[in-house]
Structure 1
Amino acid sequence: MLRNPVGLSYAVVALLAALSVADAALFVSALDVRLLMTGSPEDHPDPAGFGHMGVDVVAVLQVLIQLALTVVFLVWFFRVRKNAGVFAPDVHRGGPGWAIGAWFVPIANLWWPRSVAAGTWRASRRDPYGDAKGEGESFAVLNWWWTFWILTDAMSTFATWVYDDADTVEEFAAGSGFLMGAAVLDIVAAVLAILFVRRLTSMQHSKATGMISAA
């Protein structure tokens, strides 16, 4: 049975936008730390005890937004995968439950969710078995989003590790620089995710509307 994913897509997009705002705040906070740490020594006599309040507060905010985003995105992803099973059941390698489970399999979660998304995308096109390189139905948005999501995840993990283990002025400056890079990558990934969610939702809405009219 088809279920409308439009309402959930609005919630996903709103949370992705909120995450982008938090990323921008992290960039500004990390830039402030970097500028202070690369200034004169008297500006930061005790680098380990420096009040990185801005970075810490934004980091907590990001975690809260990410938790909410993860839950809502997975519910949306599961719904569009189930719809895709109605549109074209023979283009999928596994059941709709893998729209959630694939994200929690170590190592395989680097490519498995993308495979689920590709099958869902293909089934949601007007012609699931066609090439569809144009007309907004190619895999370009999906591929770019997934690429930047992987890059962001790796960069964020590395930047957090460097920043949290910093003890000297130079290490704090380097760590804050990596945090800035991670924030930029995350903003790009969030924008691409918004495009992916909106496009896939639109494809399913149009296809479902056509099926209902035909019926």
Structure 2
Amino acid sequence: MSNTPAFIPPAGLRPVVPVLKSPQGLATGVTVLLALCAVADLVAIASHAYTYSLLGDWESLTLDEARRSDRWAGQSASYQFTALFVTAVVFVIWFHRVRVNAEVFAQDSQTKRAGWAVGGWFIPFGCLWIPRQIAGEVWDASTQAAPDGSRRKVSQAPVTIWWTAWVLAMALRALASVTDRAEIAGPSQDSVGVLLVADSVHFVAAVLAILFVRKLTRMQNIKATQGPRAAA
């Protein structure tokens, strides 16, 4: 027998073993931040509704009303951006955490590496479906199997509805931005109307995101504490 010691690869070359950790704390933070986003959306909706009503009666618009509208719109946009930025950071951290947990639950079910749970959001056009694909795979992996060990199929409707609302809100905001830049004399009632609808859809998306985060976190906690199979 050879006395040559077994080769031990350097720490940097060793495979990283995914570790199961509770996403509960992150989920609570994301929930609170998403609620703040929803409140910011409501403020923006009220601001846009006020501007929309003023533009509907352009001839009687006073300088004070125009300044008040601009000031309110600027403040609400600032609130929205700040809330969305902070929420996005914490949400992506939570999303990566549940993706790593999914690899512990069912490694073969994940078609993309865990890093895609972060990087997928920053790829032009790819961000429209990569996070959705990952979310669906994590959702399935976080579902307990039947008592006999067979795979249970749980509807991904909460994932699909949330993602559809999110993409639609982003598309409407992009449309509103293009429409607004095309207006030489300032925002038109049409562009403000599109922005009003966009923020309304974004509000709905924020509420749906809260439901998605809470549901998926609960699914992972149940599977981690009660085991991979549901009780008979």
Q: TM-score, normalised by structure 1?
A: 0.89
Q: For 1:35-46, what aligned pairs fall within 5 Å after superposition?
A: 35-44=53-62
The structure having more radius of gyration, on CA atoms, is: 2
Structure 1: distance between partners of 2:38 and 2:64:
32
Structure 2: distance between partners of 1:43 and 1:75:
46
Contact residue 51 and residue 69 of structure 2 kept, 8 A: no
Q: For 1:71-110, what aligned pairs fall within 5 Å after superposition?
A: 71-110=89-128
Q: For 1:37-186, what aligned pairs fall within 5 Å after superposition?
A: 37-44=55-62, 51-127=69-145, 130-132=151-153, 137-168=154-185, 171-186=187-202
Contact residue 9 and residue 198 of structure 1 kept, 8 A: yes
Structure 2: distance between partners of 1:130 and 1:166:
55
Structure 1: distance between partners of 2:182 and 2:34:
29
Structure 1: distance between partners of 2:86 and 2:143:
29
Per chain length, whose mean CA-contact separation is higher, i.e. which structure has more relative contact order (CA < 8 Å, sep 6+)?
1
Change (3 A) 1:49 1:14: closer
Identity %: 37
Q: TM-score, normalised by structure 2?
A: 0.82
Structure 2: distance between partners of 1:80 and 1:60:
30
User: Which deviates further from its counterpart, 49-58 or 34-43?
Assistant: 49-58
Unpaired runs of 5+ residues, structure 2, are 1-18
Q: RMSD between aligned alpha carbons?
A: 2.3
Aligned residues: 207
Kindly provide the CA deviation profile for residues 116-170 of structure 1, in whole angstroms up to 9, marking residues without a partner as x.
Answer: 11111110000297342xxxx410000001111110110011113323543447x
Instruction: Tell me the equivalent position of 2:38.
Output: 20
Given candidates 171, 184, 198, the residue that maps to 2:214 is: 198
